[in-house]
A and B are shown apart, each in its own frame.
Chain A
Amino acid sequence: MGLLEIFDPVAAPRPIGIDLGTTNSLVARMRDGAPVAIRDCDGEALLPSAVYYDERGQVIVGREALRMAPAHPRDTIVSVKRLMGRGANDPETARLGTIDFAAPTSPDEARTVRLRVQGRILTPVEVSADILRRLRELAEDEMHSVGGAVITVPAYFDDAQRQATKDAGRLAGLEVLRLLNEPTAAALAYGLDHKKNGLFAVYDLGGGTFDITILLLDDGVFQVRSTGGDSALGGDDMDRALGRVLLEHMGAAEDASPEVVRLALDAARRAKHALTDREEVALELPRMGGGTATATVTRAELERLVAPIVERTGVACRRALRDAGIEASALDGVLLVGGATRVPFVRRYVRDLFGREPLADIDPDQVVALGAAIQADLLAGAGSTGEVLLLDVLPLSLGIETMGGVAEKILPRNTTIPAGARQVFTTYADKQTGFELHVVQGERELAADCRSLARFTLRGIPPMPAGMARLEVTFHVDADGLLTVKAREVTTGIEQEVLVKPSYGLSDEEVERMLLDAIDHGEEDFERRKLAERRVEAERILIATRGALAADADLLDASERKAVETALAELTVAVAAGSANLVQAKIDALDDATKEWAGRRMDRAIAHAIAGKQIDEVDATVAQARGVDEQVAEHQARLPPGARSSQTGPTGEGS
């Protein structure tokens, strides 16, 4: 037992890390400088990602829900992660399972898969939000106040799947600080724990998804070199393969009811687990039409069934090695993550593939959440982990459909994020007044074979001969791996800007409505929550600004400093008062007052990074003896011209 924590009603909210898994989920936090999993009242850290909806609208998550699954297979949703960000006609909906999918009533509805549960229609985002809400409650039981969460996602999740996960977090009332790739999270926890440097592969085979990530660990920097995977490949597929065999034993190969399918899949999972340590397992199964059948499954048989599934991971691994420009022999270690890596066949396969024994001194179930907790702590500025930095990549190429249905890649896969690129397109017909843009993600040559993220039309272009108009498209990928697209027509002088967030799945309005629905007491509570959120943000900004004053006040002249201090004081007063809008207004005012100063401080940080520490230390001494302006001017003179401007746009490549 740990020490009893004394309840402090005004304790600062602390961030959490969440592994939202296909089979199990888990929440972790930092305690005394080390990440720990948060346990429920039974001492369990793993929360099964199962949600049962009863006829009265009650929602039960976790082990309790799993217990309901055999009797209520339609109303107990498991492995919902496999459906995140997917459309109604996705092949994923056709796999062996017990979910009752609702047929879409419009093309718009078809963009997201919908589940029929107890007469209600639910989206995967809502089901995931129910799991996240339960995790948030667990964290609140222990910590009283949760201030932001890092949620992990498979590295190979595309934009729609990431957006869906972020929406689920919002819906669960979490401030999502960052979406973090699962293999990177695992590497973070492992690397900090073992203090190792070198080139590592993280092989992450979970319940529903597979990721392979090659990354370099170098004194606190975790730089992803390449990533690959399959967001529909995992332990669930092993269960399905064995489940089909068991259904035959039960005489129910055709037209099995959801109850029977659930039973077969659960038996398959138990057999798979048992065969980790045993050579053979006997299963008692009910036969259709009465009686029981005893099925004996050997490890050899299981391995024959899972081999084709596991071999699919090899293709992705070889590609990731190629993308990283290395041979397997150059690796310093292979980390195994995810419950499915417990299967002995998987371990053997990984060993043969990489020519080395994988590292097994980590808990494959917990390591991702622990890494997320570390990252959450870093982002919240608690800083107990010092000079740690994660440099992740875009898993799948982003592009635009051009003439002939070809997908032109604008940002290639494995580009370090955040990333931006700009490309110029032109009209192909005379007097064309509109541009249709189709944003796609994937590696295939034809746009039709890639994931469609968004379509939009830029209108109002004056009629011009073909090839005259110049349409500039800018892609922006943030540190969550989420894309924003901007387009404008530049020759006509009429600048049009369209801002597009890929809308595959739920629209912003839909999420907003669900958010309101989720709050029982409506408007008033919503207002109160908004205020709480604004306050948390204000507190953070106050701390950041005071810290900046302590470090870089020399970059402000007297009047600027006064303006900053006034804005600081006003925000402090506003936080104590009770209006979300007022707090926001004062945040904006402080933002304004510190804008130019922020640019100078950034220039200083860049100069520091380029010139090394010594010069900066000299600067600090010189600065004390001199006027501020002189010092600033000198700083700027030493910087290369590109680093000087405070209004740089995203750098584009291409034509």
Chain B
Amino acid sequence: MFLALREIRHEKLRYGLIVGMIVLVTYLVFVLSGLAYGLAQQNTQALDTWDASKIALNSDANDSLSQSLITKQTTDKLSLTKHEAYVGQAGVVAKAKGQAKLSAQFLGIQKNQFIYHRLTTIAGHKPTTNHQILVDDSFKDNGYRLGDKVTLNSLTGKYQIVGFTHNAKLSVAPVVYGTLPTWRSLSHVTPTYQAGGIVSDRSTFKGAESSLRTLSLSQFINKLPGYSAQNMTFSFMIGFLMIIAMVVIAVFLYILTMQKLPNYAVLRAQGIPAKVLVTTTITQALLLVVGGLLIGAGLTALTVSVLPFGVPLAFNVPLLVGVTGGILLTGVIGALIPVRIILRVDPVSVIGG
């Protein structure tokens, strides 16, 4: 620690450049991770609030709720409990007088079932009639107010916003909660269709009908359009950034170590154990990486505070711990590469003449 700190203090520019590089990599990794998590959240926020485990869809719907239709004939054969709830999804364009059009996902639910019960409002109340809707608070951010009358697609009816709810997004679009009859109107289906899917909060639930296919909620989420591809893209970007960070740190430390070899040789000649020099190198790498991480985290926090509304940047503790741990680990691996050179430094090289 002594040698590591003294060297950093003396070689401010050199180590400042390394820290600067680590800051940029860290910043990029944090922002990308935040974007990945934020986007992933906006795909599934609404589903997360239901706290559900399984979903049964029409087996021909290709695991898509918006494409799935389940008939009353089918649901009548199932013995559903209070742990199950009907849901129907339809893509809509919402428009209120004097407000901008908003693309949204309409979810039709039933008043006496668990999804309805688990919805929370941040203003107003939950819908009680077919012409009432509860909408995500991003509507509010776009100028919509309680009591606004909204048209959905080309339907002639008007739907009144009676409440706002927080964190209700599905496939990155705000959710409009309404009733199943409204969903039927939006989907242009007759009342012979009960819902698009059956959601259950029991992990043992199975829609025991040949026309149904039951999926776990994580399977269903992974089948959301673009969800897996988007997450995989971000994971690859973050992974590559980590590898680049490791290579850059390793190259920097390698160059620095090579420059220090004559000093190390003198110290070895004087009997300073190789362990001290190795510890110094690893400590130095850790100090640089931790410094870079802290500044990078600060820069990320600053960015979050000035980012315009609507940028899907979100963080959670396990994600931050994982990313931070990953960068620290790459730093240590990078620092371990020149260790072999330090262990093999030849003190004889500094005694000549």
The answer to whether A and B assemble together is: no
